[in-house]
Structure 1
Amino acid sequence: MSERQARFEALYADHHAAIFGYALRRTASPDDAADILADTFLAAWRRLDELPPGHDAKMWLYGAARRFLANYYRGERRRSALADRLHAELGSSCAPADSDGESARFAEAMLRLPPRQRELLALNAWEGLDYGEIAAVLGCSRNAVRIRLHRARLRLAAELAGTGDTESGIYLAGLSTHPAQNQRG
C-alpha cells in the first residue's frame, strides 16, 4: 500500500462518520447523504496533497461537504421548479376531453386491472406498440403477448360493465372474441 493510499484510508476512517452525519442531517434521504459523502471524499482523494494535516483536514472535509450540499440544494430547486412547471403544463393540456364522466369511468376500470394487464393495454393503446414490439419490451413471445392482451381486454370490458366477470364483458367496447382481430399494426 502506498503512503498516499494509507493517508487517505486513515482520513476516511477518522472522519467518514462525522461527514456522513453532517450530510444526513441536511438531505432528504440517506442515499443523498451517501452521495455527498462520496463526492466529498473523492475531492479529498484528488486534492490529498493539498489537504491540511490533523484537525484542519476535518474542517476541510466539512467545507467540501458544505459546497457539495449547496450544489445538491441548487439541483433540488431546479428539479422542483421543473416538476412544478411540467405539472402545470400537463395539467392544463391533458384535461379530459369529455365532461360526461366517460374518462373517469375508464380510468377507474383501468385501475381495477392487475398491473401487468394495465401495462399491456397501455403499451398497445397509448404507446402504439404492436404485439412484436410489446414482446420485445416485456421479454416474452409474440404469442404470449397476443393471449395476455386478449385477456386484459376482456377484463377491462368486464370492469367497464361493472361486473368484474370477463365472460359478461366480451362484447363491450367493440371487442371481438378473437384476439387477432384486435391486433394493431
Structure 2
Amino acid sequence: MTSDERFRRIYAAHFDALLAYAIRRVEQPEDAADVVAEAFVVVWRRRGDVPPDDEVRMWLYGVARRVLANHHRGRARRDRLGERLRQRLRAVVPTDPGSDVPHRLVLRAALARLSALDREVLMLTFWEGLEPREIATVLGLSAPTVRARLSRARRRLRELVGHDLGPPGHELGVRTGRTPEEGR
C-alpha cells in the first residue's frame, strides 16, 4: 500500500473521532473543523512518520492536541491584539474635533464644498495636529504654499459656516418655530 493510500485510509477511519475530540475543546464548531483540517495537513506532511496502525489513533490525538494548543495560543494573541486596538481607538476617537462640534453636519457640508486640497490642508491641521511644514511634506508642497492655502481655506470655511451656527440642533434647510416655552 502506498503512503497516499494509507493516508486516505487513516483519514476515513479517524476523521469523525478527531472532529469530536476537537469540538469538545473549542468554542466554535467552525474552529473544530479548522483544527482537524490542520491536523490532517500535518499527517499528510509527515506521512513517513505515521506509526503502525495499532498506534495511529493515539498519535493522531497527539497531533490534534498540539494543533489545538497552537489554535488557543493564536486566539489568545488575537484577543490581546484586539483589546490593544480597542484601547487605542478609545484614546484616539474622542480627540476628533469633529465629534465635539454640535453642528458637525453643517461643518461636514461646508468642508465638502471646499476643494479637495483645501479640505485636506484643514483636516491635517485641525484633526491630525500637523504643522504647515509637516503638511507640506505630506502633500509634496512648499510650506509657504501650505500656509497660503490654510489661510484661504479657513476664510472660505468661515464664509460657508458663519461665526454663529445658531442654536443646538440647527440643520441647514430646516425651518423651526419657537415652542411656547421658549417664548417666555
- After TM superposition, the score normalised by the length of structure 2 is 0.52
Letter in 2 for 1:76: R
Matches of residues 19-168 of structure 1 in structure 2 within 5 Å?
A: 19-95=18-94, 97=97, 98=99
> Offset at 1:100?
7.1
Give the distance between the partners of 2:79 and 2:72, measured in 1 at CA.
10
SS in 2 for 1:21: helix
Give the distance between the partners of 2:172 and 2:93, measured in 1 at CA.
30
- After TM superposition, the score normalised by the length of structure 1 is 0.52
Over the matched positions of the two proteins, sequence identity in percent amounts to 37
State the superposition RMSD in angstroms.
Answer: 2.8
Give the distance between the partners of 2:24 and 2:71, measured in 1 at CA.
13
Question: Closer, same or farther in 2 for the Cα pair 1:170/1:101, shift >3 Å?
Answer: closer
Which of structures 1 and 2 has the larger relative contact order (alpha carbons within 8 angstroms, sep 6+)?
A: 2
Other-structure match for 2:148: none
Larger Rg over CA atoms: 2
SS in 2 for 1:94: helix
| Number of residue-to-residue matches in the alignment | 111
Give the distance between the partners of 1:61 and 1:8, measured in 2 at CA.
12
Letter in 1 for 2:5: A
1:11 aligns with 2:28: no
SS in 2 for 1:33: helix
> Offset at 1:91?
0.6
SS in 2 for 1:70: helix
Matches of residues 168-179 of structure 1 in structure 2 within 5 Å?
A: 171=173
Give the distance between the partners of 2:75 and 2:67, measured in 1 at CA.
12
